[in-house]
Amino acid sequence: MNAVRDCPDAKWFPSRYHFALARLIAFVRAHFPIRARTDVDHILLAIDDGQTAVEHYCVSIWLLVTATCYIAAVLPPRWAAAALPLGAAAIQLTIALIGTIGSGHHLRRNSLLLFGLMIIASAYFAIRNSPVRYVAWFFLGVLILNSLAWLTMLALRGAVRRLEQRCET
């Protein structure tokens, strides 16, 4: 199913979200009634996990803030203002360098390596005795929460399938 027509319930289909935590939230939200819009005759909703701009922007900002905190932690205090542009540059350089490896679609490779590097950095800063350890533990906590949501969604895949079949024609 690539698109759903005239089914407002499709707005909260888990398959419209990328990360497991967002999918779980959407699945729970889908069980509450949605009032149909009265100002339109028809609606068409794409079923694509890349359509959720809010989800992707939140994760991007979260990674940027986390990287900025880590860079600020290793810089001298007088250079702390440079942490934000250095964090953005570090993320962009990582993505660009990964893009030079191999050919084809690099989204999965970029995601795995970028999150892998962030996990390594978070593990390093989590054991340090500085305020940045709270940022590191928050990062690791959200990652663990997303992993638990993934396991939950794996167990609920039959219920998700039935939910999404309500709008098939």
Q: What is the pLDDT of residue 116?
A: 93
Residues 6+ apart with CB under 8 A from 115: 143
pTM score of the predicted model: 0.81
Q: What is the pLDDT of residue 162?
A: 85
23 or 70, greater pLDDT: 70
8 or 109, greater pLDDT: 109
Q: What is the pLDDT of residue 144?
A: 96
Q: Tell me the pLDDT tens digit for each residue of 119-156.
A: 999 999 999 999 999 999 999 999 999 999 999 999 98
Asked if pLDDT for residue 11 goes beyond 60, the answer is yes
Domain boundaries, given as residue ranges, for the chain:
3-51+155-165, 53-152
Residue type, 66: T
Q: Tell me the average pLDDT across 20-34.
A: 82
Q: Tell me the pLDDT tens digit for each residue of 31-87.
A: 777 676 666 667 766 766 667 778 889 899 999 999 999 999 999 989 989 999 999
Asked if pLDDT for residue 1 goes beyond 60, the answer is no
Distances (CA, A) of 28 to 8, 22, 133, 135, 152: 16, 10, 32, 28, 12
Q: Tell me the pLDDT tens digit for each residue of 98-129.
A: 878 777 777 788 888 899 999 999 999 999 99
Q: What is the pLDDT of residue 15?
A: 76
Which of 49, 36, 38, 24 shows the shortest CA–CA distance to 156? 24
